[in-house]
Structure 1
């Protein structure tokens, strides 16, 4: 029994001794680690036991210095960015970890400290190191990097500069995916080791693609593939003319307009200006135009009517030509034969009244008293050719053109005329009576006379009615003409009347009211006596020994006629018509034939 008690006493003593030693050690530990971290404590695997707070901070900072200097390397397409932790809003909660580590074993409750110290000694404690991530800072840094990476998409484009097609190809854009990249950074930095993080991006599609404009480019290249050649025959081009429309001209007709296609895709429409093509055709149509013949018109006591219809003309068939031109612009054949169509006579029953022929504007009268039969015949034939003739506004009237061929088929006969400075037979002898009378109608209408020729010698017929000398007009077909201009601004109608009883010829010009008045005077500048010596001319067509007188001697005269034309009371024209009548000898033809 005593043995048991002894052993119990020994055990109690030993227990007390252990307690005393433990308490002593606790007291010693509290004293030794009062400013230090208890042993066997680490932060994220880094032992910091026995270190002061400052030493532990330095150790942790040293360990993660590389990480904090460049926690991630951001990469894109061979480019690298190494932002510091602070540029990404990253920071390590070192003080938080040290606070936790230092709190172990330094609590006011010594029993709890004892238990914790024992557990730490036996098992050790590894504390976490928290990483703080302020993504707002990371977004600022990534936006700056995105400015180097991002690019806006460029739409495909097409434009026409002069005749050059400028094609801009599409370029895809690029956008940095900031939120997705931040998520990758957040995952990568959890290791607290420097990592490479690819920057995430996405492609931005252009609104207008190359394929959207491909049809437009193809169409433009076809339109501008070469010049357009136009060929036509008629009018000013009796043997045919050829015109070129160069590519530079074609380009001016082309307009581009943005629109949306039926499938919703953007498109550019090519429009060819048809009005511009019509304008380019206008001078060509003018060159090819063949005016129809004017009708012959009866005055009909102030109610004009068509006696002989005019003849159709020919002109460019504009609508058909436009169709062919557009076909050529979109085809390979660039040469066009211009189509022609028949044109109605320029004056017809539908528009005759619109000519405004309402009153006489000029009257010419001459006498052919005691004329030979041949002369009267030719005066009648010539007057017929002048009767019912329309003269368009601005046109120049030509007596010879209006008269036409002087042939038997048209009622003309041979008669005496001044040819080669003597009177001899000629087809149409006496037609100067008609030209003189037409001249007087134009003279008294106040029209500008653009061509007029005096007779070689003074002729009594043209002064029968008291007219002054010099109010005549000689013609010789193919050589001398009578021409005047219709400057009234309206149409004129020339009519003729032959009074066989009184042996007078009258020419009247009808038209709209011209408000013109003509005054004239004349002055004889010089008189020359007739030659006293006769002139003999050999004529092999007459038998030898035959002598025939063809001309009677008469004196010469130089005279000027002065005309003043008033329009609405104001002088609109002053002109002088000079005439020189040569002195004329007695002329005989002498036969030299067998």
Structure 2
């Protein structure tokens, strides 16, 4: 064994070094612990929360500052930007909640982590908060924010100004990403920032500017000079401004398409060349000298849209911008053959009612008969007396005459037209047509059949029926021999059986006194009563809709005017 090996490990020198080292370490550790204890309740230097510096504050002080800053921040607007769009939102609207004590606890307190000591002396940082948010408030606020910031993409467009095709460029849209934008707003709020950029996606429009420029160039060629067409030894042209006026550019299936209203353009061209616009003539049915007459139909000639479009395409391909136009034969809506098939050939039913000799009333009756005559009602169509008569106005030739208004005898424009209603109703009734609307009078008039009559008042009471036969029908109406006559011309289809009861529950008319200044006296008229009318229609084994009408007439009370009993006003 060597001399060195024989020497003990802990020599006096080594022991002294170990003791000194231990003391130094103990002192350092003690100092570290003491320093940590000293700064345990202090916020590290350079620490900011919500833009407020809380460096070196105690836990209590920091909590107070943070709570005050939080309350102040709740209503401070934060501007959220997305390109040129901007909107504002507040922490309060987002439903942000912050526990200041919990936050301060994370920044203070005793720890042996040397990083805490380092930050305390040499600087902390701005604290990025992760607060709680009320879900509903947050969703509502972000929905409102998105609505203000979102922008639909704008397609490029082409519009004509006279013959100039102008292009409006496209612009992208904006769609805000709710989650990302919400996080960005919270970060900005926690840092005390007043503005923040939204997280969003750019939305590409369907129609780009280049596509619109291409469409505009096509449009310019269409309208840059007149287009000339030749047909039937005639020629006509369309000016560029006429084409532009009926041309639009529409987005269809994600692409910009030029659409020209060829039918309107055909009408424009037809108006310039009379030989190209000969309308078809419908067959006309009317009653003359108590016989049905059919004026034959005739085909027409005209310019139609699809053939004009083909001619325009050919003209554009021609250096002279000229093309041959194919004219079209136009068919009448009612041909002679169809008119004959309607079967308006015989009198199916006829009815008449007596009328008084009163100039104004007779004028209204005559005009009413004229207006309902020769009105064609095809199978399945509905007749409206109000529509057939037209406006009941003085300009239309109607006069004022006697009417019954809420049981009172008065004067009104069109007085007497109820007799047109009654006579027409009965003619239709005995022809077997389905009566779909009618309103009997409230008082009974002797000149009309009980329970089988009607009143007419524009916009209130009308007479309507449906032609429930396979044949057309029309009325012939006239005045003669002190009676109003209405015939139904068609082909007989229905066999009609009808009954009318006697008067039931008769209530005599009486005299009532009226003290009003505008009172009109008249004697008592007919008694009130109830009546029932039935109708059965058959055609071979087929049965039509039955009629079972019941009506109660009120007594036509007389009126005595007691104008001398008018009450005097107080005063």
TM-score, length of structure 1 as denominator length:
0.41
With the length of structure 2 as denominator, give the TM-score of the two structures: 0.43
The structure with more radius of gyration: 1
